[in-house]
Amino acid sequence: MVRATAFLIAACVTAATAAEPQDEPLLDWSPWQEYRAGVKHPAATIKPTDLARARANLERYQWARSYRDGLDRGVKGWVAKITPELLEQMIPALTPGDTLFTPCPACRALGKPAHPHGQWKWSAADPEKLTCSVCGTVFPNDKYPENLVLKAKYGGGQSFTFYGGEPFRIFSYVGRPSFSGNIRARKVGYMTQLCGRLAEAYALTGKTDYARAARLIMLRFAEVFPNWLVHVGYGEYADMDPHVAALNINHLPADELCPSPRGPDRRLHTGYWSAGRARAVGMEGTFVRQMVKAYEFTCEAQEDGKPVFSQSDRLKIEKDLLLESTVLLVADKRVNNKSVGNATAVALVGMALGHPGMVRFGQDVFMKTVDGWFLPDGGTSESWSYALMTLGGIEALGQAFRGYSDPPGYHDAEGKRIDKIDLYHDTAYKKAWAAMFCGLQGNLCYPSLADGHGTSSLGTRFAELMADNYPENLQYLALLKALAGDDLSRGHARYAIYYRRPGLEKTKTPPLILPDHLFPALKLGYLRSGPTGRASALVLSATDWGGHHHRDSLSLYYWQQPHELLSDLGYLWDHPKSSMTRRTLAHNTVMVDAQEQITRGRGGRFTLFQPSGKIKVMEAESTAYPQAELYRRTVAQIEHEPGRQYVVDIFRVRGGKKHEYVMHGPNNDLQIEGPTMKPVSKNEQPFDLQNVRASSEEASWKITWKLANTMRFQVIWPNQKGRTSFLGDGWGQRDYRNSDVGATLPYIVRRAAAGKRPTVFVAAIEGFAPDGAVVKGIELLPVPEAEVENTVALHIRTDKGSDYAVSCLEARPLKLQTPGGPLELNGRFAALSIRQQQPASAALAEGTVLRWNGKDVPCNSNQKPK
């Protein structure tokens, strides 16, 4: 009884303090009424000058005509189908659910690997069926009936049905799928895209039948959208005025409709992050943007001198669809990779309808994104894949602000106006684009770091924007040509037709060059090889913990055309076992005391970065383990000749009780050379590896992988006295869709007991053509007793001589004895290659002296990193 009373009191307090629509200035639509008549359409992402450019491109280029004709073919069959009956079926009055958050109960019953979102097939040709891609079960299904019914009071008496069987764990929620809700969302999504395609087809062909069809779709949306409830993909619906629900999503004034056996708690689960009305995944802006596009292309269409849209049509669409669609979006004031796209959609509505306050809302979020979500060096605060998502959210605003000015006579509350801001050049937006360029690897994709995929790329879409808006940077045009061909015929036609200047392909461009690059704020370093930097990419990460990051501080990634050698397993998205690719063991780094790296306070910084010449080096440290007072990695790339280089890896760690260097290979086609390995007991097995073999013999190890008929990859290291090297099978799945369930990769674990002095792990890492390896062996050289804790010296035996690499924590005068003679230096890092008893190339970092056999050696050097 006490508990119930407390809940009642809390509910009363919540209701009494609920925000009201009049509390939100952007729910005041009076500026629309004042300024709408002065808008010249199209006014948002596509301008009248862009339409003129499209006509010029259509006249000049086959690729443009092919794009137009493809649109024409794709929509012409729909014109006759757009009937009131079809519109009622495909755009239901009942609020849609979402295409995600729908696990398959049949897969569960069959014991098949299941994803919380399910894996579904749906077709507009048979729109009332949903088929599981894994088990083939078709829904609705009498075996899995939707017999849980939740009835709403608001919005015309809507009823929502859910599978009433055993609940599912759906991430942090215990809930039930709604196949009918999923189907409604898919129908709405299809019609949203169709409306946009019809409208664009009208803009490029002038066929007014397309404008008429788009009008009917928008009017149907305008009819039903005001009654669509605010809801989340988990299946919770706010049974109340959407304006009130939007402002109070985390503290609703009344119970939500809730399919979970846990019951309502007067908040929609995860709030804005997974909320919507047309869709429920926190990205309602994608729906809004399509509607703005469709309206902008068609609202002034005429046939025989008469408007296709009546004045009442336009007012209804503008008020009940476009303005209404911003209600949820303006309530979310945060900045994240989803909300930025929503805020952009609000601004586009503002531009299209003459609401300067909405334009400012989007502009404010845009500035917070480029100044805060993106880092000071332009790098991503999450991952390259999520940077692409975030750019996808704001890029439309960059285009929309081209030439934008507030309506004549308008001034905001501070007396200010917006008059033709160039977001591309006048803000930090340009740093974000530059960072995205510098983060690419040679195949023009991104490393699969953090929550990222190795297939993520800028692609022709973003390359078009970069080349069009930064004509002063010919490297961006070179990137576009690398992706689209020298004649640019394979570009992103949907953007190129409007934004690309005719004749751009004739502009002479230099070769595309990817530079060695350090992101000081992101704390990511890239060393490359080849004349254009596209032959390989060695990436050292010291990134901080944060959204979409992994427990991977000081991990090493190595790509060499066209293969990942040292890979990062990347992102399993919302997979139930996604932690397996986030954990420290999934990365090429060092673990202390068999523990996961910490998240908060992990920190990290680069202590050395010298990328010039044939010998390049970078070094970083972090506090990923509180018990480790030293946790630092130094990696050098040593190039002998074009296409023949290797990597020296030096990892120092001190603190804790046990240190384990972990690394996983790219596949299971490997050959092992070294001491005889023996199976180990379960008590000795590292982590959760299987089929573990090991040796503690003081000897050299070499493991060689076959990647293709023309490519090999080897890792060579000395197993030092008192240490054990293990080889076992570990987690290898990389596809969240479960196409590679059970996949394993070979994991190398090198174990050392912690001592007073730093533990040092060294290795030589190389990708090479068959029988073309540079490195034959690697060994530690003795250093003076006074330098044991400061200096690591290596002798690398090569196919043509010897290389030496010396790494020091502090720079001071040092003399070492090597198999080839005395080596003197005073820097933090030095390396030299010896051919026929003579130095062939050398490098020195943070020093002034490098001598071999008493003679000064010319080298690439720097005095002190900035």
Residue 308 lies in a domain: no
* Mean pLDDT of the region 401-413: 94
Checking if the pLDDT of 2 tops 70, the result is no
Spatial neighbors of 626 by CB under 8 A, at least 6 apart, are 598
Q: Which residues on adjacent β-strands are paired with residue 831? A: 805, 843
Q: Give the Cα separation of 563 and 581 in Å (integer).
A: 19
> Which residue, 512, 528, 543, sits at the end of a domain?
512
* Mean pLDDT of the region 441-470: 96
SS3 793: strand
Residue 350 lies in a domain: no
Is 113 exposed, middle or buried (CB count within 10 Å of its CB: 0-12, 13-18, 19+)? middle
Checking if the pLDDT of 1 tops 80, the result is no
| Identity at 188, one-letter amino acid code | V
Residue 48 lies in a domain: yes
Report the alpha-carbon angle 137-138-139, nearest 5.
Answer: 120
Checking if the pLDDT of 10 tops 70, the result is no
Supply the pLDDT for residue 676. 93
Buried-exposed string 806-836: b where 16+ CB fall within 10 A, e elsewhere:
bbbbebeebebebebeebbbbbbbbbbbbee
Confidence bin at 866 (pLDDT 50/70/90): very low
Checking if the pLDDT of 765 tops 50, the result is yes
Same domain, 596 and 656: yes
> Which residue, 448, 480, 512, sits at the end of a domain?
512
Please give the radius of gyration of the chain, using alpha carbons only, rounded to the nearest integer: 31
Residue 538 lies in a domain: yes
Residue 542 lies in a domain: yes
Confidence bin at 860 (pLDDT 50/70/90): confident
Same domain, 503 and 465: yes
Same domain, 800 and 693: no
Confidence bin at 12 (pLDDT 50/70/90): very low
Q: What is the pLDDT of residues 441-455, one digit of tens each?
A: 999 999 999 999 999
How far is the CA of 399 from the CAs of 344, 348, 477, in angstroms? 11, 10, 18
Residue 231 and residue 237 in contact, taking contact as beta carbons nearer than 8 Å: yes
Q: What is the pLDDT of residues 593-629, one digit of tens each?
A: 999 999 988 989 999 999 988 999 999 999 999 999 9
Confidence bin at 18 (pLDDT 50/70/90): confident
Residue 614 and residue 595 in contact, taking contact as beta carbons nearer than 8 Å: no
Phi-psi region of 831 (alpha: psi -120 to 50; beta: other; left: phi over 0): beta
Same domain, 604 and 720: yes
* Of 190, 192, 193, nearest in space to 71 by CA: 193
Q: State how beta strands 860-862 and 838-845 pair.
A: parallel
Same domain, 735 and 655: yes
Count Cβ atoms below 10 Å from residue 123 Cβ, excluding itself: 11
> Which residue, 722, 746, 773, sits at the end of a domain?
773
Supply the pLDDT for residue 771. 86
Count Cβ atoms below 10 Å from residue 328 Cβ, excluding itself: 25
Same domain, 472 and 603: no
Same domain, 811 and 696: no
Count Cβ atoms below 10 Å from residue 405 Cβ, excluding itself: 13
Query: Which of 228-242, 468-482, 838-852 has the lowest average pLDDT?
Result: 838-852
Supply the pLDDT for residue 690. 93
Residue 480 lies in a domain: yes
DSSP 237: B
Q: What is the pLDDT of residues 174-216, one digit of tens each?
A: 999 999 999 999 999 999 999 999 999 999 999 999 999 999 9
DSSP element (H, E) containing 636: strand 628-641
% the chain with pLDDT above 70: 98
How far is the CA of 831 from the CAs of 258, 375, 758, in angstroms? 65, 33, 22
Residue 328 lies in a domain: no
Number of domains in the chain: 3
Q: Which residues on adjacent β-strands are paired with residue 745? A: 730
Spatial neighbors of 311 by CB under 8 A, at least 6 apart, are none
Mean pLDDT, rounded, of the chain: 94
* Of 219, 152, 204, nearest in space to 181 by CA: 152
Same domain, 786 and 758: no
Same domain, 740 and 828: no
Checking if the pLDDT of 337 tops 50, the result is yes
Spatial neighbors of 136 by CB under 8 A, at least 6 apart, are none
Spatial neighbors of 118 by CB under 8 A, at least 6 apart, are 100, 102, 103, 104, 107, 132, 177, 182
Q: At 239, list the tokens.
A: 């049974």
Same domain, 579 and 703: yes
* Of 661, 671, 778, nearest in space to 714 by CA: 671
Same domain, 693 and 550: yes
Confidence bin at 685 (pLDDT 50/70/90): confident
Residue the block writes with tokens 């290795």: 763
Q: Which residues on adjacent β-strands are paired with residue 838? A: 835
Residue 360 and residue 412 in contact, taking contact as beta carbons nearer than 8 Å: yes
DSSP element (H, E) containing 179: helix 179-205
Spatial neighbors of 212 by CB under 8 A, at least 6 apart, are 79, 308
Residue 395 lies in a domain: no
Supply the pLDDT for residue 8. 35
Supply the pLDDT for residue 863. 52
* Of 674, 638, 640, 646, nearest in space to 764 by CA: 646
Residue 496: which domain range? 40-70+458-512
Q: What is the pLDDT of residues 303-336, one digit of tens each?
A: 999 999 999 999 999 999 999 999 999 999 999 9
Same domain, 538 and 665: yes
Q: Give the Cα separation of 345 and 343 in Å (integer).
A: 5
- The CATH number assigned to the domain holding 636 equals 2.70.98.70
